[in-house]
Amino acid sequence: MATVKLKNLFKKYDESEIFSVNNADFTIADKEFVVLVGPSGCGKSTTLRMIAGLETITDGQIFIDDELVNDIPSKDRNIAMVFQNYALYPHMTVFDNMGFGLKIRKFPKKEIEERVNAAAKTLDISELLKRKPKQLSGGQRQRVAVGRAIVRQPKVFLFDEPLSNLDAKLRVQMRSEIISLHRRLEATMVYVTHDQVEAMTMGDRIVVMKDGFIQQIGTPLELYNTPKNLFVAGFIGSPPMNFINVKIVKKDGKLHVDAGVFSLALDKGTVEKMSAFEGKSLIMGLRPEDIHDNHEKTDSHPGFNSDVDIIEPLGAETYVHFKTGGIAFMGKFRAITLAKAGSPSWPVAFDMSKARFFDPAQDSSPSIF
């Protein structure tokens, strides 16, 4: 059992003018896998390090299992942290690296052996126990670092960008290993990354941060389908959401979005909410998969013709970049689209029921729809 509760948490470093973490306030449930994600410098590591007790808290409270831990030293919090740089002792064997935390806590030799051997088996590194870190590959070192955390049997696991030093293929493999480890250990885990794909694929819930402020907390699909602001909309999803400047206008008695080169009727489901914005300039967001190829004129969504700029054939699908009258957007089409780079006036259809609308003033302004 371990919940982690952050209560109005603030952090300002002594030498800094601004707060690196502003009013972080959320609870990580027992056995939950929560990912903190955001661009470099947004305060992810600072938040994690405060949970770990490696950084002082400027204001607010942290509870682990309802126990206030603000003044409890890191070593007594029963948490284990895995870092990006592994932080292994170069002169020690893998076995000694993994057992070190237990040794300094005066665990009996036999129990250390049992726990290290069990963790090594879980991580498939039993045959490496006698080696030194320099005799290991990056992926093996990372496993040792995770093993060192597992043997502690901590209440909470904290990971700070643990996969960032690995090559792309190994990263994907370790990603699924950590997910399955989470399932097997049934442990509470907090995982920091700047990579939104890692966040989306790993997290039960994701906390999106920017400039020290939490932008949104939700499941991967909540963030994907209902981003709360322009920042989250642009950050989550790959390829990213298209943003087009539009004006809400009335035409023939119906509300339209007018982008200059095209004007499309709003979806029935959005009309009521959007009527308050008639005459206003907004940003419309539409994901690439909601822009359809309408070459066969079969699509029932409203559309218009646009010039094709670039084509990216990926095999299973094709990314088609359009540029027309000063606006650019990208559609994710089937692999067999006939659109070619430079094709003029290609018919596209927009699934307006999926359109999101944002205030252009600030990327942290709440979304309109």
* 88 neighbors 97 (Cβ within 8 angstroms): yes
Residues 28-67, one symbol each (x = binds Mg ion by CB under 5 A, - = not), give: -----------------x----------------------
Cα separation, 270 vs 256, whole angstroms: 11
16 binds, among Mg ion, ligand ADP, none (CB under 5 to 8 A by kind): ligand ADP
Minimum distance from residue 145 beta carbon to ligand ADP (Å): 18
* 323 neighbors 253 (Cβ within 8 angstroms): no
Minimum distance from residue 229 beta carbon to ligand ADP (Å): 18
CA distances to 10, 84, 167, 304 from 94, rounded to whole Å, are 38, 17, 22, 62
Q: Which is nearer to ligand ADP, 5 or 44 (CB)?
A: 44
Minimum distance from residue 143 beta carbon to Mg ion (Å): 21
Residues 158-197, one symbol each (x = binds Mg ion by CB under 5 A, - = not), give: ----------------------------------------
Minimum distance from residue 364 beta carbon to Mg ion (Å): 21
Residues in contact with 143: Cβ distance below 8 Å, sequence separation at least 6, in sequence order = 123, 124, 125, 174
Give the H/E segment covering residue 225: helix 220-225
Q: What does the binding site for ligand ADP look like in residue numbers (CB under 6 A)?
A: 13, 15-16, 20, 38, 40-46
HSE, side-chain direction, 13 A CA sphere, residue 34: 27
Q: Which is nearer to ligand ADP, 10 or 100 (CB)?
A: 10
13 binds, among ligand ADP, Mg ion, none (CB under 5 to 8 A by kind): ligand ADP
Q: Does 215 bind Mg ion (CB under 5 A)?
A: no
Q: Which is nearer to Mg ion, 37 or 257 (CB)?
A: 37
300 binds, among ligand ADP, Mg ion, none (CB under 5 to 8 A by kind): none
Q: Which is nearer to ligand ADP, 40 or 298 (CB)?
A: 40
Minimum distance from residue 206 beta carbon to ligand ADP (Å): 14
Cβ-in-10-Å burial (0-12, 13-18, 19+) of 79 comes to buried
Secondary structure class of 94 (helix, strand, coil): helix
Residues in contact with 36: Cβ distance below 8 Å, sequence separation at least 6, in sequence order = 44, 47, 48, 190, 191, 192, 193, 207, 209
98: nearest Cα among 135, 123, 134, 75: 123
Q: Which is nearer to ligand ADP, 46 or 142 (CB)?
A: 46
318 binds, among ligand ADP, Mg ion, none (CB under 5 to 8 A by kind): none
As separate numbers, helices (DSSP H) first and strands (DSSP E) second, the chain gives: 9, 21
Residues that bind Mg ion (CB under 5 A): 45
